[in-house]
Amino acid sequence: MDRKELIRKSKENQKKIAWSLAGGLLFCVLMGLGWRAYQQAEAHKQALKAAVLQLKDEQTQYHRSQGLMTSESLHDQETPLGLVSVLTDQAGQALPDLERLQTDRIKSLAKEKDVDLVTFTYQSQETSLANVKDVKLLEKHYRKTKTSYELLNDESPSLAQLYLKKDGTRFTLDDFLANKDNFVTAVSEKLSASGWTESDIKASVEQIRKESATLPIALTAHSILLPLGSKSTSVEMAFSEIYESIQADLLAGEARVAYDAYVAEKAAREAQEAYEAALRARGPNPVATGKVVALTFDDGPDPNTTRQLQKILRQNNVRATFFILGQKVAGNEALLCELRDEGHQLANHSWSHPDLTKLTPEQVHAEVANTQQAILNATGTLPTILRPPYGASNARVAQAAGLPIVNWTVDTLDWQSRNPVAILNQVKAQVHSGAVILMHDIHQTSVDAVQSVIDYLKAEGYSFVTVNELYGY
């Protein structure tokens, strides 16, 4: 091989080596760039993951600040990603349907190319009811950037609304009602006045009875709205239209103020009506005059509390009127005779304390006559007046009873408050000359209040008489 050939081959080898070195170098550069791109992609991925976790933590903290108990989870099997939030109660039980509602919504957004992440957040606010929150489920959309998520919609659409009790469970119409029958009647009257057909009213009533635990209600400051009928027409019932049907203790704020005013007005009206009825019911004999009151005690006798009351009245030289249940006479004959001998009046309060307006005339007569006979047999005294249980009476009851009916003009609400101070305050607020004061000798708290009531009335210049002395029977 001559020298030229050697030089040519040497140059070819040098070219091959140069190309190999260049190729290797290029490969290294490409590998380096690829590795860097991979690292950047991983960094972006981790940053996006961290951004989601941060949103999750922020969402949890926000819900806690709202007084809500929730459980958050990331649904990353779908596109877009979904940060799902489920409400739980104090026992940790998830409220039904909310998770399915959110996952279905995530699937429905699959064709929204601009949406990479959807989150679900609850927003709560107080209502016109105590310990009941108005909770809305809000939906937010995000677009993915390299390292975070950018909020797309400032206005968050409301996906659902519900009401929650303090323990985290749903608040329903059943929780609101104290008397469903009264409520149904009030709604029926409202629908009838609004021109609904009889068939539509009947269907709505049936809907309330069957769906009261699930019917989606809405609350305003002074009313409740119900979706009724085949078209789910919203029917609004003002609280003032259904005071006798609802759990009034739930009312708060302005709604409670309005209810308290209603109760006060009702009590004043009933007291006035009772007073006027008592004036009309006066008997033929001379009546007590001056600044007098009649203390009356219902539902006894009780061998324990009535004995305590007897002692208090004796010590204060006060005579009262006892409206006696016939079924409680047996076993208390000696006590009733002592009350009679000490100048107290024994009167009729029916045999078993039913609402006489819901009985037949024959049943009313039996309730009264059997009690008359029991008291006569035990004491030799025949009652001359009747107080119907609950004060419930009408013309039919009066005719069947055959005795003058005497209710009260001052209701101490002792059966309700079970509080001696509250009982005294009712007396202070309502007492007047000629008042008939209602209390119950079967409640210890009522007996505990009697001494302070007597002391107050004496200090105000009142003297004490029986109902017969007050009304002339």
Bridge partners of 437, per DSSP, are: 295, 410
Q: Active-site positions?
A: 298, 440
Distance CA 352, CA 327 (A): 6
Report the alpha-carbon angle 183-188-191, nearest 5: 125
DSSP state of 444: H
- Residue 214 in 3-state DSSP? coil
Distance CA 355, CA 329 (A): 20
Residues 6 or more apart whose Cβ sits within 8 Å of residue 292: 433, 434, 462, 463, 464, 465, 469, 470
Distance CA 25, CA 32 (A): 10
Distance CA 73, CA 345 (A): 73
Q: Are 349 and 325 in contact (CB under 8 A)?
A: yes
What count of other Cβ atoms lies within 10 Å of the Cβ of residue 203? Answer: 14
Report the candidate in 217, 255, 218, 254 with the shortest Cα–Cα distance to residue 239.
255
Q: Are 434 and 471 in contact (CB under 8 A)?
A: no
What count of other Cβ atoms lies within 10 Å of the Cβ of residue 245? Answer: 21
β-bridge pairing 70-75 and 81-87: antiparallel
Q: Are 447 and 302 in contact (CB under 8 A)?
A: no
- Residue 346 in 3-state DSSP? strand
Bridge partners of 126, per DSSP, are: 133
- Residue 144 in 3-state DSSP? strand
